[in-house]
Structure 1
Amino acid sequence: MPLLPRVKTKRKSHSYFFRIRNKVRSVPLIESSRTISNGISGTPAYMSPEQTRGARLSEASDIFSLGLIFVEMLSGESLMRDMTALEIISALWRADFVESLTEKIPHEFRSDLIDLLAMAPDKRPTAKEMSRRMMELS
């Protein structure tokens, strides 16, 4: 007995699974899934470089993501809106792309936020350090 019922169409019988699978394939990857086939999980536009490689995540990964959110908030634009998930992931592997994002940080905040987008996790501030910085800005 099949797990999913069959649906009669004009051509031939199809399972619900087959119809859903085809529907999902027609949706762009960035909108259709938060998990990519190699096991990477998350929203690509807010991933850290190590997350795009499938490496172990840490507090530093969250700090990078927070940096991306801050840049979007302060610049007033979505940083990667015209990119597909795979374009975003491959771009985040490149230091030159990440450096181009730091150029979007408004000048008055650049010194406080630029290291959030450091390629190396150990070069990013800790959550405690970020909390201290936020208190100083307020």
Structure 2
Amino acid sequence: MMMQKRQLAAYRSSLDVEVETASPHKLILLLFDGGISAIRQAKLLVGNKERIGEKGKLIGKAIAIIEEGLRLGLDLEKGGELATNLDALYAYCSARLLDANLKNDVVILEEVEALLLDLRGAWATIAKPQELAGAGGSTGAV
């Protein structure tokens, strides 16, 4: 147990460093990664009545990442139709995750995971190499 706590602390420390040094573009990728990871973990817990609270927390984490990280990062005034469409898609994803939690539905979780994976892939293709590495540059969110 003590070893797991040390490993978790080391992971959190390395993640903190990655976030602190990341470009705005890389931060968006990290948000996608966090949301996808939370959904994947939640999928493993669907149907496990003893860990239903943990599943709910993971889905809540994914929703928070979408709403507070990805969605709030949109510039609806400057981003035009693309930002408006992303806003609607993020709202859809959050609503679907709520449904998945209430219904214990892996299929819905997989649907949202696939959407986030597609968006992450598209976002990654527009990055400059130095942005993915965490160096300089300020691309910001759409």
What is the TM-score normalised by the length of structure 1? 0.29
Greater helix fraction, Structure 1 or Structure 2: 2
Of structures 1 and 2, the larger Rg is shown by: 1
Structure with higher RCO (Cα < 8 A, 6+ apart): 2
